[in-house]
Amino acid sequence: MFYGFWNPPYLLLLLISIVVNYFFSRCISKYCRLRLITITVGLLFNLGLLFYFKYSFFFAENLQNLAGIELGLTSLVLPLGISFFTFQQIAYLLDCYHRKFKSCSFRNYMLFVSFFPQLIAGPIVHHGEMMPQLSIFNRERWAKDVAEGMTLFVFGLFKKVVIADSLMKYVGGPFGIVASGVDVNIITAWVAVMAYTFQIYYDFSGYSDMALGLARMFGVHLPLNFNAPYKATSITDFWRRWHITLSHFLRDYIYVPLGGSRQGRLRLIMNLLITMLIGGLWHGANWTFLWWGLAHGLFLTINHLWVKIFEERRRIRFPKLVKTFYWGVTFFSVMLGWVLFRSESVSAAVGMYSTLFAFDGLVLPLVWQDLFVVTESIRFVGESDWAASIFLVVILFFTLMSPNCRDLFDLDIVLKGKSNTIKWEPTVRWAFFVSCLFLFTLGNMSSVSEFLYFQF
């Protein structure tokens, strides 16, 4: 019902995917001699489905541009959440093939895949995290789960509506102007990039909190998907915190099977690049996503080599200062990577980088004309975004200093760390605070906006 409201015909696609994958899982469990053939056909079915709907037009378009071959394919409407439920079922089939569990009932499998809080945009749930919960209902904890779930949902809604949506006005205009070949000043460009850095985080993190909250109201504890990624002090640490369930999938089902870090540094570099290229392509059928994945593969490679060459051979002096420096480099690298992620094309991304670093000349706000002499390398356009700059600095401090949902709730028994002094409790004070936050959020819902991970 939930999935069918958006596009009823694609509900049939989801059902077909569930039925076929369950059939494959049963065959793998029952018929030992056909396991290899079945898993091969199952993977081809899932990847073929994903390729047809998400990548066929992209490859046909590039084939036409490179070789002049006209395939006559048209762009398709991408089914909601196809990347998420496809990866989820691929992991299920592979674990079934490696005999990590026995195939479950069709009812539980269907609920595992189609559970509506995480169906559209994750998290990518592993069967071992969800299946045991489907047959157990804890009556004693139900009331607390509902209260926690409502709180998580309100926090996620606040992130999306109040923070992420308020940053939209600083992002779309500058990126669109640069893509059209028109200059924006360097201040506006940096504001746009930093605004998008926080917009995508609070948008997707907000959705994940809402998904966790809705699931918890039904007594299901979904895995944590974000753990303060902008507090990371290395790119490796960032990927342990950002989109955690996707990172785990890429690690367990691509990076480790390729050999991981066990076969020398050259193989490590190749495995990292291949894994992150696949991770980039998973996000969308565009060269910008491929380059974004490659950039993060290079970042991870540099990170691994730095640790091996420098940090393991000598003691670090002034650890707090070094840690702050590492955080700055990591945050700056991630922010630059988002330029590729947000841009509509590689040429648009190159245009934005040129503006950010003044490769084609320095473009300054009009109000600065009296401070500089106009030359061929210095131009003036637009106004200064000082108000936006101050707003973004406030959001940066809020992001770094505020406790995250993992600190407030017992969200993930796997992740360990120091607890924050602020803890959620089912008290009148918390109920009053959450109610006020909810009303404040509703008051700021002037228009409906889609999530950035809509139709991934």
DSSP 327-379: HHHHHHHHHHHHHHHH-SSHHHHHHHHHHHTTTT-EEE-GGGGGGS--BTTEE
Averaged over 143-168, what is the pLDDT? 91
Tell me what percent of the residues of the chain surpass a pLDDT of 70. Answer: 90
> Do the domain assignments include residue 198?
yes
* 123 vs 368: CA distance, rounded Å: 47
- Comparing CA positions, the residue from 389, 439, 436 lying closest to residue 167 is 389
Residues 303 and 195 in one domain: yes
pLDDT of residue 378: 85
Say whether pLDDT at 153 is over 90: yes
- 362-364 vs 378-380, strand pairing mode: parallel
Averaged over 216-225, what is the pLDDT? 88
Averaged over 359-378, what is the pLDDT? 79
Averaged over 211-234, what is the pLDDT? 90
Residues 164 and 256 in one domain: yes
Residues 316 and 432 in one domain: yes
Q: Which residues form the domain of 149?
A: 140-443
> Do the domain assignments include residue 450?
no
Averaged over 184-208, what is the pLDDT? 93
Averaged over 127-134, what is the pLDDT? 81
Question: What distance lies between CA 123 and its chain's CA centroid?
Answer: 9
Least confident residue range of 95-99, 107-111, 130-134: 130-134
Residues 161 and 108 in one domain: no
Confidence class for position 413, pLDDT limits 50, 70, 90: very low
Q: Are residues 332 and 323 in contact, defined by beta-carbon separation less than 8 angstroms?
A: no
pLDDT of residue 89: 92
> Do the domain assignments include residue 135?
no
Q: Chain-wide mean pLDDT for the chain?
A: 85
Least confident residue range of 120-129, 160-169, 344-353: 120-129
Residue with the bigger pLDDT between 22 and 131: it is: 22
> Do the domain assignments include residue 188?
yes
pLDDT of residue 415: 43
3-state secondary structure of 1: coil
Residues 94 and 152 in one domain: no
Residues 151 and 246 in one domain: yes
Residue with the bigger pLDDT between 36 and 294: it is: 294
Residues 226 and 359 in one domain: yes
Q: Between vectors from CA 344 to CA 343 and to CA 348, what angle results, nearest 5°?
A: 65
Tell me what percent of the residues of the chain surpass a pLDDT of 90. Answer: 42
> Do the domain assignments include residue 456?
no
Confidence class for position 411, pLDDT limits 50, 70, 90: low
Confidence class for position 312, pLDDT limits 50, 70, 90: low
Q: Residues 69-105: pLDDT tens digits?
A: 666 666 677 788 888 889 999 999 998 888 877 778 8
> Do the domain assignments include residue 212?
yes
> Do the domain assignments include residue 119?
no
pLDDT of residue 368: 77
Max mean pLDDT among 53-57, 233-237, 283-287 falls in 233-237
Residues 183 and 304 in one domain: yes
Confidence class for position 316, pLDDT limits 50, 70, 90: low
**11, burial (CB in 10 Å: exposed 0-12, middle 13-18, buried 19+):** middle
Confidence class for position 313, pLDDT limits 50, 70, 90: low
> Do the domain assignments include residue 122?
no
> Catalytic annotation on 283?
yes
Residues 105 and 187 in one domain: no
Averaged over 193-204, what is the pLDDT? 95
What is the residue-wise DSSP string for 44-72? HHHHHHHIIIIIHHHHHHHHHHHH-----
Residues 204 and 255 in one domain: yes
Catalytic residue among 127, 243, 283, 296: 283
Residues 74 and 175 in one domain: no
Number of folded domains in the chain? 2
Tracing tokens 């053939």 back to the chain, one arrives at 37
Tracing tokens 């590039």 back to the chain, one arrives at 62
